[in-house]
A and B are shown apart, each in its own frame.
Chain A
């Protein structure tokens, strides 16, 4: 039977190629990656005072007024790095319009009534976006400076020092890493109680 013969060949090829591509290949990549790029391969974890406090490239929730806020997040209850997700709200969905309007009202009150940079009031695709646009970080300088009792100019300079330009000058967008910025802020001035 032609079909039986083909099924048998198919089964044998499945087993052989599964070992090669499903086991040997990922194990080889893991071994080489752990030698060449150990930090990146393990998630670029950060620690402070001997305690793991996050990954450099995974966003965290910041909602205290003394910190730069991160973007809103739809991952789990917010920045759940075991359950990445976007909001999936469509552009005409009332839930989206109302959520943004609520955040806009709160943020504008702290920032003298100017329009809010759009990324600060929209959820990211992953819910784990570690970044803000520079505009969204600068927008929060007045509030953070007030809360931390620092001169606004110092805080502004701190933000500007954390702006990461486009890669190779062309690709992507300029960003500020919120976790790194807030850690630098903690190092500069104690957190208000």
Chain B
């Protein structure tokens, strides 16, 4: 670990802290339909959209109608994405002439992008046409993120409401999240990325002559040695920047290219890397201030922010320590970090990012439900790879996915308040709302769905040589971690991978798609039911027995609840995967 590395990490956190309040207040105004400085431009576009879609913007929905609209939209846009992939071969913007995508892969990808997961069982540059990338995948990046923000706003409205049945209008919240929040930051951010070298064009792939032509030898079917000379390099192109920026701001994470944010055309410089990481956390951090603003308790917003920042720092410290320590099995290599050399475990990492920028990115992308990667998590040291895995298992509530992180942590807040109430023997209250049996039942349902899906599918896969373990790339305990990571990533809607696992098979495509759909919608439905129930309640004035949710004590309790739920659920399987691999690596065992 170096001083410079720590400065990079702390500067990043400071930037997130600075943007929290301005962005949070702005979003509070947008969803309260107050005037903002963008109204002169966006107001007319908003009205045109409502006219073309027949939306009655003054209609208020109950939680059931809100949920139904959300499901209807997800279904329709998912079918649209499926059709677009299947038909891309006969559609325009396809200079490489890529054929239609296979049915199981197209289903997996449609589920993946609709649920804001962006799990990628394909390699972008060899599978998806430019039209599919921008009108299918980047489009879903916008809409799934907007849906997440809308749902978070609904939950916050429910907490702030007093004896109300309705929670807002789904179509209006979606439209305003897209136009006011996502589109402006993406227009500016995309151009900033291009200035750093992210490509943005519609050209076919470039052919260039290699400076040092390569001779490779292979053995043919008859056992003869055949020498082949490679003199050309084919360089993939495309409208990358416009997709790259929403991939980060929307915490989607689906790369234009197979190597995702490690590819020099997606993430060319340390500055583009910082912008990407900042974009991943910005909206989710802002939502904590939106929470404070709308519930008229800014200090509660900061208490939630503080719990998140603590868990973030714990994760990045562990990962940084593990990766900087390097791999003891690689003899006669210089892994010391210094002014001229990054040192550490550099397998699967880019030289321009070194260790600090790589572990920071890995922590952020799994704290949030982003899943973009600038280094290959499969090649991390066991404990370095444990951190992203645990981040996802904790429910991606460390800032979290846009919106999803907010409603995710609010569910944990309800549990924390409930547990505090049990400890002092009083009916728990959260910002004046009594937390009763139905509320806790819904919160527990939402919390238990992800572990259930992850453990069941992982369990089936690891005892099925024919279709489960046959996809493993790294033998030994690392293979278990690959499968566990895949289902955790799917169910938590992250989308990053221990990418050695050959996941483009019918079994993994279908079960991972199912994990993503369950992990998204079966969390959202109990969450909405909880929100609907909270909104109906009247406010109880605070008394001496009320547990304040604005203090460091509350933040610590929140951290405790998150960690205990996560660790109790997953510790057994983690001990058989990354933890045992760590000790075996130290003892010099290879597989």
* B262 part of interface (Cβ distance < 8 Å): yes
The answer to whether residues A118 and B335 also contact, given A83-B123, A92-B589 and a CB cut-off of 8 A, is: yes
**Chain B contacts of A189 at CB under 8 A?**
none
A174 CA to B338 CA in the complex, in Å?
A: 10
Could you say which residues of chain A place their CB within 8 Å of the CB of B72? 3, 6-7, 9-10
What chain A residues lie within 8 Å of B68 (beta carbons)? 2-3, 6
Tell me the complex Cα distance, A167–B275, Å.
13
Contact indicator A92/B584 (Cβ below 8 Å): yes
Which residue of B has the minimal Cβ distance to A172? B270
- Give Cα distance in the complex from A16 to B55, angstroms: 12
Complex CA distance for A26 and B194, rounded to whole angstroms: 13
Chain B residues near A26 (CB-CB < 8 A) = 134, 138, 239, 242-243
Q: In angstroms, how far is the closest chain B Cβ from the Cβ of A165?
A: 10
Report which of B175, B194, B269, B354 forms a contact with A37, defined as CB distance below 8 A.
B194
Q: Does B326 touch A at the CB level, under 8 Å? A: yes
Report whether A52 and B330 are in contact in the complex, using a CB–CB cutoff of 8 Å.
no
Are B242's CB and A182's CB within 8 A? no
Known: A3-B72, A62-B212. A71 touches B351 (CB 8 A): yes
B569 within 8 A of A: no
The binding surface of chain B is classed by DSSP as: mixed
How distant is B206 from chain A, measured CB to nearest CB, in Å?
6
Q: Give the contacting residue for A7; candidates B76, B257, B374; CB below 8 A.
A: B76
> CA separation between A168 and B191, bound complex, in Å?
19
A158 at interface by CB-CB < 8 Å: no
Among A84, A89, A117, A123, contact of B263 (Cβ-Cβ < 8 Å): A84
Interface size of A in residues (CB-CB distance below 8 Å) = 110
B8 touching A171, Cβ below 8 Å: yes
Within 8 A of A (CB), among B400-440: none
Q: Chain A residues near B202: list those with CB within 8 A.
A: 30
CB distance from B514 to the nearest CB of A (A): 22
Q: Are the CB atoms of B75 and A91 closer together than 8 Å?
A: no
Classify the interface of chain A: helix, strand, loop or mixed.
mixed
- Residue B265 is within 8 A (CB to CB) of chain A in the complex: yes
- Whether A28 lies near B333 (C-beta < 8 A) is no
Indicate with 1 or 0, residue by residue over A11-28, a CB within 8 angstroms of chain B CB atoms. 111101110111101101
Known contacts A21-B138, A126-B263, A167-B269, A53 near B354 by CB under 8 Å: no
Give me the interface of B with A, judged by CB distance under 8 Å: 4, 7-8, 11, 45, 49, 52-55, 65, 68-69, 72-73, 75-77, 80, 123, 125-126, 134-136, 138-139, 142-143, 171, 174-175, 178, 183, 186-187, 190-191, 194-203, 205-212, 214, 216, 230, 233-237, 239, 241-243, 257-259, 262-265, 268-271, 273-274, 326-327, 329-335, 338-354, 357-358, 373-376, 378-382, 473-478, 498-500, 581, 584-585, 589-591
A-B contact pairs, 9 of them (CB 8 A): A82-B205, A91-B347, A92-B581, A96-B379, A117-B333, A125-B348, A136-B351, A171-B271, A175-B351
Residues on A lying within 8 angstroms of B by beta carbon are: 2-3, 6-14, 16-18, 20-23, 25-26, 28-30, 32-34, 36-37, 40-45, 51-55, 57-64, 67, 71, 75, 77-94, 96-97, 100-101, 104, 108, 114-119, 121-136, 138, 166-168, 170-175, 179, 182-183, 186
